[in-house]
Amino acid sequence: MTPRAIRYYEERGLLRPAVRVKGADRLFDPSDVERLQKIKQLREVVGFSLAEIHDLLETDELYEQLRGKYFETSDPDARQGMLREAIALAQHRLAIVERKLAQIAALRDEERSRLERLHGRLAEASA
């Protein structure tokens, strides 16, 4: 990733500001590098928007907080509440993914229709 992209992700809240050393140099810890890799994958491979990525990363953080709280308590009622919250987060994440898949499916269908029209025109031109 370019330094410009990293600064942009920091500005958008996708990445916490890195520790600065020697002027403009940034120092990233392994979790920052992992987060950058996840952002890149979600953006370039899957095609999520920055808003969708922000939402997914935010739910990751909330899930990790819940996970920590879950293992800190043995209260069954508290654990059930946390599990319900985790389920709601998972449902929200799934909804984001399903919306993206629906957009991709619509685009695929449009391209298939275009290809079929072109095959039809070729058949007409050959006749």
Same domain, 56 and 23: no
Same-domain pairing of 17 and 69:
no
25: enclosing H helix or E strand: strand 25-27
What pLDDT is recorded for position 124?
95
If asked whether residues 83 and 125 sit together in one domain, one would say: yes
3-state secondary structure of 26: strand
Task: Give residue-wise pLDDT tens across range 44-83.
Answer: 988 999 999 999 999 999 999 999 999 999 999 999 999 9
Q: How many CB atoms lie within 10 A of CB 42?
A: 19
Beta-bridge partner residues of 21: 25
Residues 16 and 42 in one domain: yes
- 60 and 40 in a single domain? The answer is no
Say yes or no: 83 and 36 in one domain.
Answer: no
Helix (H) or strand (E) holding 19: strand 19-21
Residue 83 burial (CB count, 10 A): 12
The answer on 91 and 127 residing in a single domain is yes
Residues 64 and 99 in one domain: yes
Parent domain of 2: 1-46
| Calpha distance 102→75 (Å, rounded) | 40
Domain count across the chain: 2
Counted residue by residue, the chain has a size of 127
Give me the chain's average pLDDT, please. 91
Same domain, 59 and 104: yes
Whether 118 shows a pLDDT value over 90: the answer reads yes
- pLDDT for 32 equals 87
Residues 57 and 77 in one domain: yes
Taking only the tens place, the pLDDT of each residue in 32-50 is: 889 999 999 999 988 999 9
The reported pLDDT for the residue numbered 18 is 67
> What's the whole-model pTM score?
0.78
Q: What is the pLDDT of residue 24?
A: 64
